Amino acid sequence: MIPRERVLCALQHQKTDRVPYDMGSCNVTSININAYKNLLAKLGLKDDDIKIMEFASQLVKPDEELVNELRDNL
């Protein structure tokens, strides 16, 4: 199932192969810095240069290594 099909099925309350997620495609669909740090720790990854995309909500721009890890293993 490609990502687009996954999202469309989820929106129609149909079964998908996995839960669709959006990790930073725009400034309001990212992850909070605290959750990001917890996710990195859980996956055993490091990001020494965390970039804040939206300061009020403390949303970060996810590192490519994290995005690739999620794409390959979820």
Summarised one tens digit per residue, pLDDT across range 11-49 is 999 999 988 888 777 777 889 999 999 999 998 988 888
Mean of pLDDT values over 44-55:
89
Residue whose C-alpha is closest to residue 50's, from 28, 59, 41: 59
| Beta-sheet strand order (sheet of 31-32) | 31-32, 59-61, 51-54
Task: Give the pLDDT confidence score for residue 54 in this predicted structure.
Answer: 87
The pTM for the full model equals 0.73
